[in-house]
Structure 1
Amino acid sequence: MTVRTRFAPSPTGYLHVGGARTALFCYLYARKHGGQFVLRIEDTDLERSTAESVNAILEGMTWLGLDYDEGPFYQTQRFDRYNAVIDDLLARGLAYRCDCSKERLEKLRVDQMAHKQKPRYDGHCCQRTIDPDAPHVIRFKNPPDGVVIVDDLIRGRVPFANAELDDLIIRRSDGAPTYNLSVVVDDADMRITHVIRGDDHLNNTPRQINILRAMGHEPPRYAHVPMILGDDGARLSKRHGAVSVIAYRDQGYLPEALLNYLVRLGWSHGDQEVFSIEQMIELFDIGDVNKAASAFNTDKLDWLNQQYLQHADPQRIDRLLRPHLGHLGIDPSTGPALTAVIKAQAARAKTLTELAEISAFCYRDFDEFDEASAKKHLRLVAREPLEQIRAAFELLANDDWTAETLKHTVERVAETLQVNMGKVAQPLRVAVVGRAASPGIDETLLLVGKEATLRRIDKALAYIAARGAEA
């Protein structure tokens, strides 16, 4: 048997992280077993489905690198097939027409709840003859007794009594097939062997199994993945921060870091935290996914993203970082080589956005000094070290503006003043960067360049003078 999984999102919004994790699990399971991964767009909700949402899903899948082998298939292009199945079920007495009014159905629901019964359709129209030209829906005739066993790969055996399942609608009065019918037909036609999806679909599964068997098909294996919670224990939503895959991209996360984080939400392999996609494929098993819900932890994602940033090819980060610099109004061609900046700064940033922000000083002057840094390091006592280092830098030829020469120059000024190197380097760092954090002082000066360094030292000296006058 060739393993075939499918990811089947509804295009009523963006690709959120819960959907992305489901897609990842489907992808990994198919790849591990040498199978196929199918993408299906379940767009039968004509009122809410949009082309923009379809594009957002496809864009998210592409960015994550979750390449599908077949699709995307669109359910709206398969209505003829669904209706053919419905007509066959009608002809074989496995479905029937229903013209119950909304008022009757509401009264039935209220009466059942008053008697502490589970609300379900009572089969009123099952034996009635309904005019096919009059408004009506089509209901599937669910078996009246027996038990449906969902042999779930994550949850184990979950029984459902048929007596608890009502005759669900499989075609609406407007002629559109419903979700539970269309998904069953698609899974059968597309030869899906393993359905991996969120546990909010678990209650649909026995109904879908009964429809599959009525069609003459054995059901696939099912695995229902627990939901993702926010760090407060509530279901993950926008109020917890970004939940859209594309939003994480725009905030400067790397796709491999997000995938790594998502695979660890509910699955583990010993104490290992960092996994390449190849390791995920080799080690992942859907049966090892936890039954309990997992909490999304942004701090953990930030840590993982920082690991990937530190070890990624600087040339690749160069390409990804440029748009983030552009958002800050920075043209990276106007300053030092971006790969050099990345090598110096990558370990200091959690995201590409942060990397762009802390590297802006390499390409443009800053407006204000960081208040705490300036208060501590740009004092009157720093004036002489800055004046001395400025004079020494001005004498350097452009060809001598090297890391080694700059380091020696700073050391020589410190020796001349008979102070430790920090008394020179820290005021200099704040003068040049605007804050007290940067790479090594020689590397920082090399990135900033001679002209900007002298100009910024002058700004710092003016700041010190103004501070002294105020005092």
Structure 2
Amino acid sequence: MLSGTASGVSQVSVVGEGSGATPVTPRPRLRFAPAPTGLPHLGTARTALFNWLYARHCGGEMVLRIEDTNAELATKAHIDQVLEMLDWLGLDFDGDPVFQSERGGLYDAAVERWLDSGQAYLDDGAVRFAVPSEGVTAFDDTVRGRVEFPNASIEDFVVRRSDGSATFFVANAVDDLDGGITHVVRGEDLLNTTPRVVLLRAALGAADVPMFAHLPLIVDKQRKKLSKRRDDVSLTSYRDQGVLPQAMVNYLALLGWGPPDGIEVRPLAEIVELFDLADVNAAPAMFDMGKLTAINGEYLRSLDDAGFAAAIEPWVRAKPWGEALDLAALSDVAPLIRERTRLLSDAPDRIAFLFAEPETDADDWDAALAAPAGDILDRARAAFAAFTDTEWTADSLHACLRAIGEEFGLKLGKAQAPVRIAITGRSVGPPLFESLELLGRDTALRRLDEARRRLGRTGLPAG
């Protein structure tokens, strides 16, 4: 508790410390307390996740508290975005949300109590809390150890603005105390506000303080704090690019924490079992888009055909050629692109040639159709035309084109290049022969004819 002495020195002590008593450990109760003033960002999501993980790990509770006292910024749309973020990530909370805008009476009562006791005073219409001039205000932080602030470094701070509204510090102190919060898990950027909240709790008669855990900053590759102006920090952006929620949760868990066995990609239930705030690293956590997409790719590869088809469906349906496709058609193409897909937004371009006429890349065309490309196309077209519908299989087409390549002294990779560009429009893409099988004999032959006409009968690229 925060205790005063005759000399005005104050400090925080742990309940039972030095008395030989065994501290009573209440059931962990955490809170996620966002200020909904814009699109939820990565740091907000990481804070929500770490609160949730520890609450579920300990069999405790996590409540949602909306810091909406600034009515101009905390609009309903912004509040809805917070709820959508939690729903997308699969992070539930206990009980109904608490809205600070509905608790003004509690904050007013606290300020009046401080005024009556002489712990606060008026200043140009505002109310300031009188910070002791000597001693330290200290608290325990699971991530950073014992943290101390000399009281002389803490200015008397405003607890009620001149417009009558309570400040952030008051709402935090009152709500954490009233809600029985045992652990406060939040970003490192709020560390310097903590001694003010601790002082206010003590002034309300609190005998102890929560266990704090100030999470490390999230930085970019240049080790600079992620910035809304400079970096893509919106969680919505990553969702729209096609990051799966379970992959995002897995990756966010690694921003400051790591499993003791070093296995980073694992089911959420295992992360919950292993997670402990004591294992959170105080060093800045670097956000790496490459690592996020790699993890997302692992989750995509774990889906079966139907699951992968359902995952890419919204992105495919956004394309004119994809509006009428059903899940069965997407399930058929899933094996062709699942292994190399890292973001769901990449999927439509990789399969577009199967459902619409391909857009040919000019550079790929020039590279793939150097001599003897024309002769290979002629041989492939003639050989493919001889296939019956039942013979039109990936294995048969593979063997056929391999044999054609051998006739020209070419390995399969070189031999299939002109056929691939004719069929798909690009030099790289899904497996060619499985794609040909799905595309069908008639369409494949027509595209080979079109490529041969464009190439010209001389076998050289047409100008």
**What amino acid is the match of 2:276?**
D
- 2:203 maps to 214
Q: 1:35 aligns with which of 49, 60, 63?
A: 60
What's 2:344 paired with?
352
Aligned pair count?
Answer: 434
What CA deviation, in whole Å up to 9, does each residue of 1:277-310 have, x standing for no partner?
1121111111111112122111221221222221
1:117-196 alignment runs, 5 A limit: 136-196=125-185
Task: From 245, 254, 259, give the equivalent of 2:249.
Answer: 259
Say whether the 8 Å CA contact 2:139–2:209 is kept in structure 1.
no
Amino acid at match of 1:354: D
Letter in 1 for 2:168: Y
Alpha-carbon distance change, 469 to 425 in structure 1, aligned in 2, over 3 angstroms: closer
Instruction: Identify if the C-alpha distance between structure 1 residues 451 and 74 changes in structure 2 by more than 3 Å, giving closer, same or farther.
Output: farther
Partner of 1:10: helix, strand, or coil?
coil
Mean Cα displacement is larger for which, 424-433 or 146-155? Answer: 424-433
Deviation at 1:411, TM superposition (A): 4.5
Amino acid at match of 1:231: K
Structure 1: gaps of 5 or more residues: 100-135
Report the residue type matching 1:266 in the other structure: G
What is the CA–CA distance in structure 2 between the aligned matches of 1:275 and 1:420, rounded to whole Å?
40
What is residue 385 of structure 2 aligned with on the other side?
A: 394
- Which residue does 2:284 correspond to in 1? 293
1:326 and 2:317 matched: yes
Indicate which of 209, 212, 226 corresponds to 2:216: 226
Q: Which residue of 1 aligns with 2:11?
A: none
**For 1:310-389, what aligned pairs fall within 5 Å after superposition?**
310-331=301-322, 333-334=324-325, 337-368=329-360, 370-389=361-380
Q: Aligned to 2:97, what secondary structure does the other structure show?
A: strand
| SS class of match (2:132) | coil
Whether the aligned pair in 1 keeps the contact of 2:300 and 2:342 (CA below 8 Å) is yes
C-alpha distance in structure 2 between counterparts of 1:173 and 1:446, whole Å:
74
Shift of 1:380: 4.1
- The Cα offsets for residues 67-104 of structure 1, whole Å up to 9 and x where unpaired, read as 112332211111122222222333333333222xxxxx
Whether 2:423 is the aligned partner of 1:432: answer: yes
Q: Is the 8 A contact 2:370 2:461 kept in 1?
A: no
Partner Cα distance (2:148, 2:228) in 1: 34
From the superposition, tell whether residues 215 and 330 of structure 1 become closer, same or farther in structure 2 (CA, over 3 Å).
farther
Greater shift in the superposed pair: 70-79 or 195-204: 70-79
The structure-2 alpha-carbon separation of the partners of 1:417 and 1:19, relative to structure 1 and needing over 3 Å to count, comes to: same
Deviation at 1:317, TM superposition (A): 2.6
Q: Which amino acid aligns with 1:67?
A: D
1:89 to 2:80 alignment: no
Q: 1:423 to 1:222 in 2, by over 3 A?
A: closer
2:268 aligned with 1:243: no
Which shows bigger deviation, 90-99 or 171-180? 90-99
For the 8 Å contact 1:145–1:163, the answer to whether it is kept is yes
Could you say what secondary structure the match of 1:71 adopts? coil
Change (3 A) 1:287 1:453: same
Larger mean CA deviation between 432-441 and 412-421 belongs to: 412-421
Gap change, CA 1:469 and 1:271, over 3 Å in 2: closer
Q: What amino acid sits opposite 1:164 in the alignment?
A: S
Which stretch of structure 1 is more off in the superposition, 392-401 or 315-324? 392-401
The aligned amino acid for 1:7 is F
Per the alignment, in what secondary structure is the counterpart of residue 143 of structure 1? Answer: coil
Corresponding residue number in structure 1 for 2:452: 461
Quick one: distance in 1 between partners of 2:462 and 2:194?
75
Identity of matched residues, %: 39
Q: How far apart are 1:340 and its partner, in Å?
A: 2.5
Q: Matched residue of 1:48: which SS?
A: coil
In structure 2, the CA distance between the partners of 1:77 and 1:397, relative to structure 1 (3 Å rule), is farther
In the alignment, the residues of structure 2 paired with residue 330 and residue 240 of structure 1 have an alpha-carbon distance, to the nearest angstrom, of 35
> For 1:407, what is the secondary structure of its paired residue?
helix
Q: Hey, what does 1:11 align to over in structure 2?
A: 36
CA deviations on 1:96-141 (whole Å, 9 max, x unpaired) are 3222xxxxxxxxxxxxxxxxxxxxxxxxxxxxxxxxxxxx122223
Q: Following the alignment from structure 1 to structure 2, what is the Cα–Cα distance between the partners of residues 10 and 49? A: 7
SS in 1 for 2:321: coil
Instruction: Work out the CA distance in 2 between the residues paired with 1:72 and 1:456.
Output: 59
Cα 1:422/1:137, change in 2 over 3 Å: closer
> Partners of 1:460 and 1:446 in 2: how far apart?
19
State the secondary structure of the residue aligned to 2:255. coil
Q: Report deviation, 1:416.
A: 6.8
Whole-angstrom distance in 1 between the partners of 2:96 and 2:395 = 57
Contact 1:12/1:53 (8 A) holds in 2: yes
Aligned to 1:117: none
Cα distance in structure 2, aligned partners of 1:332 and 1:248: 23
Inter-partner Cα distance in structure 2 for 1:20 and 1:9? 10
- Please give the alpha-carbon distance, in whole angstroms, between the structure 1 residues aligned to 2:128 and 2:304: 57
Range with bigger deviation, 194-203 or 442-451:
442-451
Distance in 2 (CA, whole Å) between partners of 1:48 and 1:448 is 53
Gaps of 5+ in 2: 1-25
Post-superposition shift, 1:262?
1.6
Deviation, structure 1 residue 242: 2.1
Task: Using structure 2 for the length normalisation, give the TM-score.
Answer: 0.87
